Amino acid sequence: MSANPLLEVRDLRIGFATDSGVARVLDGVNLSVERGRIMGLVGESGCGKTTLARAVLGILAPNATTEGGAIRFDGQDLLGMPRDRLQREVRGRRIAFVPQDPYGAFNPLFRIGDQIMELMKWKSPLRDQGERGLGALLTPYPRARRRADRAAAIALLNEVQIPDPERALGKLPGQFSGGQRQRLMIAMALLTNPDLIIADEPTTALDVTIQAQILKLLRSLAKDRGVSVLLTTHDLGTAYEICDDITVMYAGQEVETAPVAEFFANPRHPYTAHLLASLPDPAREIQEIGGEIPSLLSPPTGCRFHPRCRSASAQCAAARPPVSGERQMVRCFHPQPLQQEARL
C-alpha cells in the first residue's frame, strides 16, 4: 500500500513436512502492515493465517521449512536474521505477541508477577542492550529499574482493567479467568513499548460476551500508543469491529486486501464476496459456498479457489493471478466489478 510499511511480507512460501508428504501451507503470500494501523488477517481454519503470523516471529514448528520469500520489519530482514539476534532485539521488544490460548500461555507454577517481571527484566524499554550470553544471564536485575518496571506494570494492569493490580501480581495464573488472562497478555504485549503487536486469534477461546470487550480494549490501547497490530481471526465480525485494513486468505494464498470500509462495501474477489454473502442475514436463507477447502498436500494449481469459483476459467488454473489495484488490491483474473450494491 504505502511506500514504507512497518511490516512487509513478500512472496512467502512455507511447507510443513508431514508423514504423508509436504503440505504447502503458504504459497507466495504478500502482506503489509502500515504504521499505526490495525491489519486483520481473515480466513477459515487452516488457511495459513496463524502460520503467517508465527513466521514473522520465527516461532514455527520444527517441521516447517521456509522455501522462499522475504519478511521485512522496519527495513530489517527478519528471515535472514540470526536466531539469537531475533530473540534479543525483536521478539517481545519490538514485536509483541498475544497468543490464542490464554489458558496455556502462562506457566502454571509461577506467579503472574514473576512472569511479567521476567519479561521486563529482559525487554523493558528502560533496559539498554548491554551484555549477551552467559554474562547477561548472570547479571542481576538493577533495583531502580525493577521498581520503575513494576510501577509501569501496575499502571498498565489498571488500564486493562485488572482489579487490584498489586495483589494480582502475587497470584497464580490459575486464579484468573480466561478473559482476565487475555487482558494480562495484552498488558504484557504493551509493556515493552513495541512497534507491532501480533495477536493470533486472541479472542477465539473466550465467551462471545467477553470477546467484544477485549477487542475494543486492544484497539483503544494500541491506537493511544500508535502501535500497529496484526490480528488474525476467522470471524469477519471481529475484523469489522476493530481493524483498519483487512487481508483475506484462502488455502495458503492471500486473495484480497482493502481498508475496512471498502472491503465490506465492495468485495472484489469471488471468495470474499461469498464470505460476506454467507453471513447470516434474517432477510434471506443461509448461503453457503459449495465444495470443500482443498488439501494442502496436493492443492489446486494457480488460484486455489478456482475449483469452487463460479467465475473461474482455464486461466485461473494455469497460474496464480497477479496483484491488481491500488487501495483495494485483489488477486483474481475475474474480480467482481467495483459497483456493487452496498451491504451491511
- Closest CB to other proteins among 60 and 276? 60
- Closest CB to other proteins among 87 and 311? 87
Query: 221, 242 in Cβ contact below 8 A?
Result: no
The residues near 89 (Cβ < 8 Å, ≥ 6 apart) are 129
- Closest CB to other proteins among 205 and 316? 205
* Identity of the amino acid at 11: D
Q: At closest approach, how far in Å is the CB of 134 from other proteins?
A: 8
Per DSSP, the residues of 77-123 read ESTTS-HHHIIIIIBTTTEEEE-S-TTTSS-TTS-HHHHHHHHHHHH
E strand or H helix at 200, and its extent?
A: strand 196-200
Q: At closest approach, how far in Å is the CB of 307 from other proteins?
A: 34
Q: At closest approach, how far in Å is the CB of 202 from other proteins?
A: 13
Q: At closest approach, how far in Å is the CB of 53 from other proteins?
A: 10
* Identity of the amino acid at 261: A
Q: At closest approach, how far in Å is the CB of 220 from other proteins?
A: 22
Residues of this chain that bind other proteins (CB under 8 A): 54, 57, 59, 87-88, 90-93, 96-97, 99, 101, 104-110, 118-119, 122-123, 136-137, 172, 174, 188
For Cα atoms 73, 205, 120, give the angle at the middle one, nearest 5 degrees: 50
For strand 7-18 and strand 21-33, is the pairing parallel, antiparallel, or unpaired? antiparallel
